[in-house]
Amino acid sequence: MITQPETQTSGQAVSMRKVVAASAIGTTIEWYDFLIYATAASLVLNTLFFPTHDPLVGKLLSIGTIGVGFFARPLGAIILSHFGDRLGRKSMLILTLVSMGVATMLIGLLPTYETIGIAAPILLVVCRLVQGIAVGGEWGGAVLMAIEHSPPNRRGFYGSIVQIGFPLGMALGTVSFFALAYLNEAQFMAWGWRIPFLASALLVAIGTYIRLHIDETPDFKQNVREGKIERFPVLETVRRHPKDLLIGLGARITEISWIYVITIFGLSYAVTNLGLPRTLVLGAIALGAAVELITIPLFGALSDRIGRRPVYMLGCLAAIALAFPIFWGIETKDPSMVILAFVVGMSVGHGIMYGVQASFLSEMFPSNLRYSGASLGYQLAAPIGGGLVPVAAAAMVGVSGGSTWSVSLLMIAIALATIVAVFYAKETAPAVIKGYGRASRVPEPLVSK
Q: Of 322, 324, 314, which Cα lies nearest the Cα of 344?
A: 322
CA 159 to chain centre: 13
In a domain? residue 226: no
| CATH number for 303 | 1.20.1250.20
State how far the Cα of 149 lies from the Cα of 114, in Å rounded to an integer: 51
pLDDT tens track for 350-386: 999 999 999 999 999 999 999 999 999 999 998 888 8
Q: What is the pLDDT of residues 216-250, one digit of tens each?
A: 889 999 999 999 999 999 999 999 999 999 999 99
pLDDT at res. 107: 92
Quick check: is 247 in a domain? yes
Q: In the predicted model, what is the mean pLDDT of the chain?
A: 86
Asked whether residue 7 is assigned to any structural domain, the reply reads no
Q: Who has greater pLDDT, 53 or 421?
A: 421
What range does the domain containing 403 cover?
15-217+240-432
Is 425 in contact with 309 (CB distance < 8 Å)?
Answer: yes
Residue 1 has pLDDT above 90, yes or no: no
CA atoms of 147 and 165, how far apart (whole Å): 15
User: Is pLDDT of 431 > 90?
Assistant: no
Max CA distance (Å), the chain: 67
Q: Is the dihedral of CA 40, 390, 414, 448 positive or negative?
A: negative
> Measured in whole angstroms, how far is the alpha carbon of residue 388 from the centre of its chain?
16
- Helix, strand or coil, per DSSP, at residue 246: helix
Q: How much is the pLDDT for 432?
A: 74
| One-letter amino acid of 426 | K
Confidence of residue 449 (pLDDT cuts 50, 70, 90): very low
Q: What is the mean pLDDT of residues 173-199?
A: 85
CA quadruple 191, 197, 201, 202: dihedral sign:
positive
pLDDT, tens digit (0-9, with 9 covering 90-100), for 185-194:
888 888 888 9
Distances (CA, A) of 349 to 31, 45, 247, 255, 343: 19, 28, 20, 8, 9
Residue 57: per-residue pLDDT: 61
Q: What pLDDT does 22 receive? A: 84
Residue 1: inside a domain: no
**Number of alpha carbons in the 13 Å side-chain half-sphere of residue 316:** 23
Q: Are 217 and 145 in contact (CB under 8 A)?
A: yes
For residue 138, give the nearest of 385, 384, 374, 388 by alpha carbon. Answer: 374
C-alpha span between 152 and 363 (Å, rounded): 10
Convert the pLDDT of each residue in 205-215 to its tens digit: 888 888 888 88
Least confident of 51-60, 169-178, 181-190, 423-432: 51-60
Do the Cβ atoms of 48 and 59 come closer than 8 Å? no
338-376 burial: b if 16+ Cβ within 10 Å, else e: bbbbbbbbbbbbbbbbbbbbbbbbbbbbbbbbbbbbbbb
Name the residue with higher pLDDT: 439 or 140: 140
pLDDT digits (tens, 9 = 90+) for 92-141: 989 998 999 899 999 999 998 888 888 888 888 889 899 989 988 989 99
pLDDT of res. 319: 95
Say if residues 260 and 437 touch (Cβ distance below 8 Å): no
Question: Which pLDDT belongs to residue 20?
Answer: 86
CA–CA distance, 311 with 423 (Å, rounded to integer): 12
Q: Given a cut of 60, is residue 4 above it in pLDDT?
A: no
Residue 61 lies in a domain: yes
Domains of the chain: total: 1
pLDDT of residue 418: 96
- What is the pLDDT, as a whole number, of residue 341? 96
In a domain? residue 180 = yes
CA distance 387 to 58: 16
Q: How far is CA 302 from CA 251, 299, 321, in A?
A: 18, 5, 21
Q: Are 58 and 52 in contact (CB under 8 A)?
A: yes
Place 445 in a pLDDT band, splitting at 50, 70 and 90: very low
Instruction: Give me the helices (H) in 363-440, please.
Output: 370-379, 389-399, 405-423
284 occurs within a structural domain: yes
Residue type, 41: A
Is pTM, for the whole model, over 0.85?
Answer: no
At residue 279, does pLDDT exceed 80?
Answer: yes
Does residue 139 fall inside a structural domain? yes
